[in-house]
Structure 1
Amino acid sequence: FISLFISLLVLVSGNMIYRKTNNPPSTNDKIHVTFNVQPSHNEFSTKKLRVPPQTSFFDIMKMAQEEDDAFRFTYNMYPGLGAYITSIGGDAEDISNGARFLWLLYNCNQDLGAAQYHDVNGCTLSDTGVSSTYPKDGEIWIFEHVYLNWV
């Protein structure tokens, strides 16, 4: 009888573990990410999203554009590299006469204070593209439209 009880306990425990790992994530299994856009004409936009862990920044951008036109974007997809952002909110990159406007992504995961969320000073330029960037809970990301002069 004791051995039957132990076997039943192991079977039930194993089944509970199996069920728990196969359940879809609950709404509590989400992280908070702040996505900011700083166009060249200085109209700053912020979108705070709750997303599943391990969501790429590219997928976060898709979610943001469905909620707010200021986050609508275009991109080119490159095999093996992922998406390259060509415009956000109607502001496109521009390559002409040795000058270039382009979008740069910054991680501002330290607490900058609400007044500084529009400023990339103290932030780190991302070393990965949007397809291979996976924000963590509470991080702040800024896409800035910047002018670079190559001449």
Structure 2
Amino acid sequence: MYNLNGLIFRIWGVGGILFAFSLILLACSRFWNPLKCNKAELIAAVLGIAIALVYGGIYCKKIQNPSIISHEGYFEREYRDSTEAPPLPVTFAYVFSNNGQPKLTFYLDAFSKKKIFNCDFEKGVLYRIYYEESSHIIVNVEILNSDYTNIVG
């Protein structure tokens, strides 16, 4: 029922890239040669590896025990928001509002969107968005009022 590809993307797209760059930095520090070892690069590399592993562990825990909640709202706008999952600029933010409730913003990368909801969101259409509570990553979408009410993402 729920597609957790957006959470998996965070592990590989953010944690994986940080881990890879940290390994490259570790190799550049020449940690195996005590005479030529650059201690600053070594510390930065070890710190980067530790952060990548902790980041991946946090999202693995979210995948194993997802806290999924829903929000019903009208689609207002979408925009690219790379600050949520740097360094790849493929994360989009989707803003939904419901009369009387504050506007909520949800996130989904372009790759996972094809699997979760292959259509474009239409302005003014009422959707039910299922998302992971702490990260606001979309895991399922239902159209509630539209000419396409039997389409479920």
Interval containing the TM-score (normalised by the shorter chain): under 0.3
RCO higher in structure (CA 8 A, sep ≥6): 1
- Please, what TM-score do these two structures have when normalized by structure 1? 0.25
Larger-Rg structure: 1
Higher strand share: 1
Higher helix share: 2
